[in-house]
Amino acid sequence: MMEKNLRDRLITVVVGVPFVLSLIFFVPQLNFIAFSLFVVLMSVLGSLEMSRLLFGKTTVISYLAPLLPLIQYLQGVLGLNSQIPDMAFVLLLLFAFSLEIKLGESDDFKSSLENCAKNALLVLYPGYFLSFILRLLALEGVNSFTIITYFILAFGNDIFAYVWGRLFGKNNKGIVKVSPKKSVAGYVGSLFSTIGLSFLCFAVFSEHLPQANFVLKLLMGIGVSITSNIGDLIESVFKRSAGVKDSGNIFPGRGGALDSLDSEISSAPIFFLIFSMMLEAAL
């Protein structure tokens, strides 16, 4: 069973990584339209999975939340006012809360606070978080190598956490109950490895990325590593709370969209913010 699971994961990676790279490098037209639509699709699938984890069914918010990445893409490609995506986010959040004005009558509003909290989480995760990947594309000077750098750091952190954990984590596992197989060695190793990848990417892709100083490169590696690991653990919390092993079964060996992109979802806003700081510092 373990060998089959590992084989399925490898097949998914071998097929999935070249597919995403192809979308980025070979279809850069209209602000990376193919890659952007892929992100929107992952947001749709992830929102539906998240809704089932939270409510045991799909809800109206699970169909509306994926509009946030789509609106973000349209804002960038059409050159619309940069405040439009944030306005859409606030309006969707208020709409999610306002549903309880009527729906809450069914139990005399006893579950309204809980339902509002769940809907707020559904708006944020994964839709709003994923919109930062497309917000990145709207920045001046962003190119294919920017997106590749992001995925190298996010995926690289996952890979090195696994490698260092396997090599040196046998006797230091169980630091967090929600994911007992994770080790101190895995987290520490992934942190320093991702920092190294940050410096490496900005050196190798120096002609395509902004000239960032030492502190910002270090901050990028630390920020992506920590948020990627948090995303992995948060996803485990969600699934444990819902009593399921995987959020879905779309990708063989990896589960659903949330299972496959948990690190990327949580690290996207941090990468965007730090990269924005780099662009400002380079001016």
Among 43, 230, 257, 229, which Cα is nearest to 134's? 43
151 and 282 part of one domain: yes
Q: Specify the pLDDT at position 109.
A: 96
Q: Specify the pLDDT at position 252.
A: 67
Q: Give the residue from 113, 138, 163 where a domain finishes.
A: 138
127 and 150 part of one domain: no
Among 153, 135, 249, which Cα is nearest to 193's? 153
> Taking the model in full, what pTM does it have?
0.92
217 and 111 part of one domain: no
Q: In this structure, what DSSP letter does residue 106 have?
A: G
Q: Give the residue from 72, 107, 138 where a domain finishes.
A: 138
CA dihedral 231, 237, 243, 245 (to 10 degrees): 40
197 and 238 part of one domain: yes
CA 233/CA 175 separation, integer angstroms: 12
158 and 108 part of one domain: no
116 and 174 part of one domain: no
Domain interval for residue 185: 143-283
41 and 170 part of one domain: no
Q: Specify the pLDDT at position 1.
A: 44
pLDDT tens per residue across all 283 residues of the chain: 444 455 555 666 667 778 888 999 889 999 999 999 999 999 999 999 999 999 999 999 999 999 999 999 999 999 999 999 999 999 999 999 999 999 999 999 999 999 999 999 999 999 999 999 999 998 888 999 999 999 999 989 998 998 899 899 989 998 899 998 899 999 999 999 999 999 999 999 999 999 999 999 999 999 999 999 999 999 999 999 999 988 988 876 678 899 889 999 999 999 999 999 999 998 7
Q: Specify the pLDDT at position 17.
A: 75
Q: Looking at the chain, list the stretches that DSSP marks H as alpha helix, in order from N- to C-terminal side.
A: 2-26, 29-55, 60-64, 67-78, 84-103, 112-122, 129-137, 144-168, 184-204, 214-242, 257-282
129 and 264 part of one domain: no
CA 128/CA 125 separation, integer angstroms: 6
Q: Specify the pLDDT at position 88.
A: 98
Q: Give the residue from 100, 117, 138 where a domain finishes.
A: 138
247 and 151 part of one domain: yes
CA 216/CA 134 separation, integer angstroms: 21
122 and 212 part of one domain: no
Number of domains in the chain: 2
4 and 127 part of one domain: yes
147 and 279 part of one domain: yes
Q: Specify the pLDDT at position 50.
A: 97
